[in-house]
Structure 1
Amino acid sequence: MPDALDATPYDALLLLSFGGPEGPDDVLPFLENVTRGRGIPKERLKEVGQHYFLFGGVSPINDQNRALLEALRKEFAGHGLDLPVYWGNRNWAPYLTDTLREMIGDGRRRILVIATSAYASYSGCRQYREDLAGALATLEAEGLELPRIDKLRHYFNHPGFVEPMIEGVLKSLAELPEDVRESAHLAFTTHSIPTSAADTSGPVEGHGDGGAYVEQHLVVAQLIADAVREETGIEHPWRLVYQSRSGAPHIPWLEPDICDHLEELHGSGVPAVVMAPIGFVSDHMEVLYDLDTEAKAKAEELGLPVRRSATVGADPRFAAAIRELVLERAATERGRPVTPCALGALGASHDLCPVGCCPGRVPKPAAAGADSPYA
């Protein structure tokens, strides 16, 4: 096998995602899975569940993962890369533990994981690693021979992730009325998280105001804004804003919220806005509700023309990026020289999450990192 197509020592790729309900009866059990141990009242869960019932009780994330699975398998086969791809979720079927049990039964012993989260944070990285450790502990207790698991690096600044978003913003700008298009602002959105979690995101040496979480998003926003300027010749003002806050009011979270930002822009005379959800891999429920429902309703109330650009989803360029990341990591594991592909000043992220990276409030074992109990 040519070295460029050699995934050894890995014998499988696991697509690890959040999961979502597949029907109305799944909504409350799913939300209980997501919030287990956090003491959130059932009344609050029912309130959040109404977001899902607006869409028939079905989260789009599962079908989006199925589409990405198909795109990955097509990409791998088209390039002669013989690497099976599995799918497991943290919070709904197919559950991570069940998928890993299946992989072990299939004889998989060196597994690479691609998480559907591109940036460094507790909820976007370490929590996935904690769930991997929990699944491995369960399987170990069953007497199964555990595989070695590695997680692919953060891909926020890989061209295959950034370029589809650039295209999406350009398309959304073109869809705005011509008389407001040139003066439109760009609102780059991502999931709000507690400021304390943002400040401790990424490796310890990078902790501080916003940590790696904010820094990485700002790099991506700048890359997209620069590319839009180069394509159109127009400098569109932009800002990184947040959505989907879910915490207690007294706990500081990243701001401003997208709806507050739209009000501020309208009040200052901005004639139009493109909302670009750069913090999300696919058009899942938080994009469909928080942007396409709430934020668009706010914009209509203000009389502010808005467009929402697409997420990367199952774009072939993203599937190709994952193939490149797999081969890059495999070559590194074999001791071959590698030049990681990354845009912007931050360069490529670390392959192995270091000790102290994105800590949680309560210390828990986490797999696929320098502090993993399953080396």
Structure 2
Amino acid sequence: MSKQAVLLLAHGTPETVEQIPEYLRNVVSGRPLPEHVIEEIKHRYSLIGRSPLTEITLEQGRLVEADLVMEGIDAPVYVGMRNWKPYIPDVVRKMRADAVEQAAVICLAPQNSRTSVGLYKRAVQAEAGALKIDFTEGWAQDPLLAEAFAERLRAAEDRMKDETGAFVPVLFTAHSVPTRTVQPPDVSAGVNPGPRLWPGEGADPYAEEARRTAELVAERLPGIPKRWFAFQSQGASGGPWIGPSVEETLTAIAEEGVKTLLLQPIGFLCDHVEILYDVDIAFKEYASKLGVRLERPESLNASPTLARAVAGLAKCGLGRLQG
């Protein structure tokens, strides 16, 4: 029987502020960035101390491996990062050196955008050689993923209900992406021409999948009085990014008279700068100036339910490889 393994892919993050310039060059594929952008990112990292993304992802990998062992599946779990160490190419080479012949590959970004998740896939394929891979393209509608987010949101709603006497509204968010990556290149100001059509593949699914994940989470908490959806963390690169943005959505929510709000990012599986700075610092400050108290549920991080979700995906992928 072929030796099998699981490979989890994540964005990656530097360990120190001094590593930010090199890290950002990886993120933008070597394109030059204005110095003020680099300094702003360094400032954000300095405010949160560091990003725990890598260590949390490694812990998630250990939990997934433990779940697979409980299922009687002998498949070690490797973790590779696209923009920082351990880099995906290095990890794939390590797998081949370990005599792994088949690998179930899962990107820890559940909502599939062909330009972002596609970069992860190409990075694996470039080093795979004879290593046979099964790549999970997207898992935005996985029931256990929705349940993992719902567990965190339910705990936060219970906490807020104890304080306010009722469930509070929720703003769901996912990371924005450049408009040009999901919509046709001839997008004109004020006109939404719809999703980009990819030859032989149809429309890019990212925006729809992000909203669908949020819907599945909300369905598990029918007591939520009202909910919204926005895209967060628009980048500093040129050109428009998909919206609505969190800031404009918060402004509209405040105009409706909402005074207490939960914000749950459903596109991120662990704490990192887009949560620890963007949500916990920037969005909270923005909401406060509008007279809105903004809180968020705990991130999934080491959620056992998330581990079961990923282990289930891995089990299916390994099964397809054997078939």
Short-chain TM bin: 0.7 to 0.9
Residue 267 in structure 1 maps to residue 255 in structure 2: yes
* Pair 1:301–1:285, CA change in 2 (3 A): same
Gaps of 5+ in 2: 183-194
Superposed, 1:291-302 pairs within 5 Å as: 291-302=279-290
Counterpart of 2:132?
A: 148
Q: CA deviation at 1:40?
A: 1.8
In structure 2, what is the Cα distance between the partners aligned to 1:263 and 1:242?
Answer: 14
CA contact 1:15–1:86 (8 Å) conserved in 2: yes
CA contact 1:12–1:111 (8 Å) conserved in 2: yes
The structure 2 residue matched to 1:34, chosen from 27, 36, 40, is 27
In structure 2, what is the Cα distance between the partners aligned to 1:42 and 1:294?
Answer: 21
* Pair 1:135–1:181, CA change in 2 (3 A): farther
* Pair 1:178–1:316, CA change in 2 (3 A): closer
Q: Residue 228 of structure 1 aligns to which amino acid in structure 2?
A: L
Superposed, 1:89-104 pairs within 5 Å as: 89-104=81-96
Counterpart of 2:312?
A: 324
Q: Residue 308 of structure 2 aligns to which amino acid in structure 1?
A: A
* Pair 1:310–1:202, CA change in 2 (3 A): farther
The structure 1 residue matched to 2:55, chosen from 39, 53, 63, is 63
TM-score by length of 2: 0.88
CA contact 2:20–2:38 (8 Å) conserved in 1: no
The two structures, once aligned, show a CA RMSD in angstroms of 2.3
Residue 185 in structure 1 maps to residue 169 in structure 2: yes
* Pair 1:129–1:156, CA change in 2 (3 A): same
* Pair 1:36–1:218, CA change in 2 (3 A): closer
Counterpart of 1:289?
A: 277
Q: CA deviation at 1:178?
A: 5.2
Residue 280 in structure 1 maps to residue 272 in structure 2: no
Offset from partner CA, 1:123-174 (integer Å, 9 cap, x none): 44101112224445xxxxxxxx531222124222112211011111222222
In structure 2, what is the Cα distance between the partners aligned to 1:323 and 1:202?
Answer: 30
Residue 241 in structure 1 maps to residue 230 in structure 2: yes
TM-score by length of 1: 0.76
Offset from partner CA, 1:169-204 (integer Å, 9 cap, x none): 222222226575636321110011123323238885
Identity %: 28
CA contact 2:51–2:271 (8 Å) conserved in 1: no
Q: Residue 140 of structure 2 aligns to which amino acid in structure 1?
A: F
1:317 partner SS: helix
Superposed, 1:67-146 pairs within 5 Å as: 67-136=59-128, 146=130
Residue 14 in structure 1 maps to residue 7 in structure 2: yes
Offset from partner CA, 1:328-356 (integer Å, 9 cap, x none): 23333444xxxxxxxxxxxxxxxxxxxxx
Higher mean C-alpha displacement, 153-162 vs 322-331: 322-331
In structure 2, what is the Cα distance between the partners aligned to 1:10 and 1:294?
Answer: 47
CA contact 1:114–1:152 (8 Å) conserved in 2: yes
In structure 2, what is the Cα distance between the partners aligned to 1:227 and 1:101?
Answer: 42
CA contact 1:190–1:278 (8 Å) conserved in 2: yes
CA contact 1:174–1:181 (8 Å) conserved in 2: no
Counterpart of 1:304?
A: 292
Counterpart of 1:256?
A: 244
Offset from partner CA, 1:55-100 (integer Å, 9 cap, x none): 23x2210111121022112212222211011121111111112111
